[in-house]
Chains A and B, each alone.
Chain A
Amino acid sequence: MKSLKAQNALQKIFFYAGNTIIGIIFVSPLIWMIAASLKPEAKIFANMNSIKTFIPEEASLDNFIEVFRRVDLANVFKNTLTYILLILVLDLLINSICGYALAKFRFRGRKLILSFVVALMVMPMEAILLPMYIEMSQLDWVNSLPALVVPSIAKCFSIYMFYNFFKDIPDDLLEAASIDGSSPIRTFFSIVMPISKTVYATVFILDFVAHWNDFMWPFLVMTGKDKRTIQLAVQSFFGTQPVHYSAIMASLVLSAIPMIVMFVFMQKYYVEGIASSGIKG
């Protein structure tokens, strides 16, 4: 018994020591990024050969102010959040009702639509960029909000997540509602939606993160400087003269803040969303 206790203690020591060492090495690039964003430009590459490079000695927020001055960051954040929130509202509505129809309604073509959704899930968006771009220019949407929003609303993966969730709702519950005279559509909005907050939260956070990271599609369709999204602004700031590395680091940190905030508040749903995709897939 004693040896088992000793073994457990040893395991604990390994756990904390190992994770502390490996963890610090693992996040050291990010620590350097944050430290650099707080340093004055002249000091950013000082002390590169010592551990001091990770510690901002004369820490200040000047770099952040400079980013706001040089890049119209307020506008960039506004652009990004506008398009993402527009997508998400429509995404949650349209994909959830589709997933619900596939899970609970009997109608002709249901199986066909379901297999169509599953098949298109692996579709690489990169393969259809060219005709999509032509479609956008024919609709005269290039450089405007609809080009970012409309093609991204329907998502096979979201439909499938909703479908999987709604499938498990007991039919008795829905039948009870219909005996009470509720139409199928009303049953969905008044009974199903309110008890399905978890799946909505999960799809919300997964898609928020995915779109916050979007680079290639906005890069192709939003060429106007005042229309840029956050990733485009960061990328082009990196190449803008004069190159101020500390200001660049500040822009990197700033662009991650909304993601960190989202993660803090919705960690549970985010992690569950990632994990459940593995179990179900």
Chain B
Amino acid sequence: MAKIEKLSGRKRDERIAGYVFALPAVGLLLAFLAVPIIYTIYYSVFQYQVMRPNDILFVGLENYKKLFSDSDFWISLKNTFYFTIVVVPVQCTLALVLAMLVSKKYRGVSFFRTMYFSPQLTSMVVISVLWTVLYNSNPNTGLINALLANLGMEPINFLTNEKTAMNSIIFMSAWQGAGYQMMIFLAGLQGIPKDQYEAASVDGATPWQQFLFVTLPNLKGTIKYVIMITMIQAMKLFTQPYVMTQGGPRNSTKTMVYYIYTQGFQKGNFGYACAVAAVFFVIVVAMSLFLQKVTADK
């Protein structure tokens, strides 16, 4: 009898402790994550100028209709997708290659791992400033053009030509980010049973065949996860174009987040910017739900 009473008393204690422990985090998540999501959608059906906060006007789906005919919005959407579609395979492949290079546990391997990881130890702002200087179109000041000049090539206006600006940002971003995914791949590679390689090499498989038929199938789950996080990260592109090109030249590096920033914070069209943000939100969430679903069926 006494034992049962004690147990139910403990259950009650646990219930109370559960609420006490969960409440602060849940409260903050509601206030600074859930409520702002609802407000993004709420403001998106209003005409709301920052300069005139009292003239808030319900306009229904007007902002969304405006989006459809807003060529700047479509350009930002196109640029965001272009960046994502190109940077994801480039960065993930680079990360996998680097991981393969440093997967063997030879002496000094951690030195090489740190080398490939080191761009991650400097922030995206730092990297963007540095590469703006490296990409300078004058071969007397830009390191990369100096190298091209040494190879007898014409200088390239990396960041000032609309055809090359986004690709230059992609190249730099993949270089900066690959070290992170490399670490995830390394953990995946270490989980592959050694005897599978031994069996394959006994059967006379070449290293390339071993990669195709042992490494890749075993890494399937890791690859899917890495693609997912890289994609979601890529969709949020803002810092690089903000620091390096201010969205130019001729809008060629203007992304969705950049457009939300310009409309909302520079032009003060909060309602309209919220409509852009709502579309962005739906795209990212739909994308991650889709990717999670694909990832789940291992």
Contact = CB atoms under 8 A, between A and B. Distances in A.
Interface stretch (A63-71, A93-101, A195-203): A93-101
Interface residues of B, number: 93
A154 B277 contact: no
Nearest to A277: B184
A42 to B, nearest CB: 13
A185 interface: yes
B191 interface: yes
Nearest to B119: A30
Interface of chain A, main secondary structure: helix
A276 B37 CA distance: 29
Contacts of B39: 128, 131, 134-135
B77 to A, nearest CB: 14
A150 B36 CA distance: 14
A128 B36 contact: yes
Interface residues on A, range: 35 or more
Contacts, number: 259
A278 B188 contact: yes
A130 B40 contact: yes
Given A154-B25, A213-B124, A278-B188, A185 B288 contact: no
Interface in B24-69: 24-29, 32-37, 39-40, 42-43
B116 A26 contact: yes
Interface in A19-43: 19, 22-23, 26-27, 29-30, 32-33
Nearest to A135: B36
Interface of A: 11-12, 15-16, 18-19, 22-23, 26-27, 29-30, 32-33, 45, 48-49, 53, 94-95, 97-98, 100-102, 105-108, 110, 113, 116-117, 120, 122-124, 126-135, 150-151, 153-154, 156, 159, 178, 183-185, 188, 212-213, 215-216, 220, 231, 234-235, 238, 245, 248-249, 252, 255-256, 259-260, 263, 267, 271, 274-279, 281
Nearest to B232: A122
Given A127-B281, A216-B239, A94 B33 contact: no
The 8 A-B residue pairs with the shortest CB-CB distance, nearest first, are A107-B18, A275-B187, A105-B18, A131-B39, A98-B25, A154-B28, A101-B21, A278-B184
A279 B18 contact: no
